[in-house]
With several copies, the nearest count.
Chain A
């Protein structure tokens, strides 16, 4: 399954991809575009990526997690293009025989994704104004 997608993420379908009769636990993380008070009047976010590297980095992250938690099965999707408020931008599912592994592997993937996968977002505000939104994964962003 491709990790970078331009159509809406189907979380149920992603979860089904890692469910099987020997996996009793699954943890799903979904990140979505929010319109929080501190975010200002965000209508949507446009996601872009260094696609070849992002796919490769996601594959490396999944492979690291699978090495660390061999019983876990993982699925991850990140959306590109314009994503409206309320829609999912990213989803990670970890299926495992036991819940501790499911939680840990799911958390690992989303944390590493945020740190390492080259994806960027531009906020589209009410009125059509656009601005890059950089969370400061890089030291530069903190200056």
Chain B
């Protein structure tokens, strides 16, 4: 677990979300989990953009990956709350 990457710029108006990476994404980035600090009102899309900037090799993750919020798939425009848990999911391949 890394210390939160600060990307909000303003320490007094941010939320912290946990971001988990799986399978190929975890492998290419070399991380299974990190925390992100984001401005209040940040969306899933903004969280992904932030993650792509701050983690090593972040651009290997697509701009619009499948994302789960608190164990359910979620759309990019969904607004995040402090303490949310995001999962970045490579294309599913169960079965």
Is residue B95 within 8 Å, beta carbon to beta carbon, of the partner chain? yes
Is residue A48 within 8 Å, beta carbon to beta carbon, of the partner chain? yes
**In the complex, A115 Cα to B22 Cα: how many Å?**
17
A31 touches B95 (CB 8 A): yes
B1: A residues at CB distance < 8 A: none
Is residue A67 within 8 Å, beta carbon to beta carbon, of the partner chain? no
Is residue A89 within 8 Å, beta carbon to beta carbon, of the partner chain? yes
**In the complex, A116 Cα to B64 Cα: how many Å?**
17
Is residue B45 within 8 Å, beta carbon to beta carbon, of the partner chain? no
A122: B residues at CB distance < 8 A: 23
Is residue B3 within 8 Å, beta carbon to beta carbon, of the partner chain? no
**In the complex, A140 Cα to B66 Cα: how many Å?**
9
Q: Identify which of residues 50-90 in chain B touch chain A, using a CB-to-CB cut-off of 8 Å.
A: 62, 64-66, 68, 71-73, 87, 89-90
Q: Chain B interface residue count: which class?
A: 20 to 34
Is residue B9 within 8 Å, beta carbon to beta carbon, of the partner chain? no
Chain B, residue nearest A99 (CB)? B95
B20: A residues at CB distance < 8 A: 50
Of the listed residues B64, B71, B73, B95, the one surrounded by the most CB atoms of chain A closer than 10 A to its CB is: B95
Chain A, residue nearest B65 (CB)? A140
A48: B residues at CB distance < 8 A: 22-23
A90: B residues at CB distance < 8 A: 94-95
Chain B residues in the interface with A (C-beta under 8 A): 20, 22-24, 27, 62, 64-66, 68, 71-73, 87, 89-95
Chain A residues in the interface with B (C-beta under 8 A): 31, 47-50, 52-54, 56-57, 78, 89-90, 99, 110, 113-122, 132-141
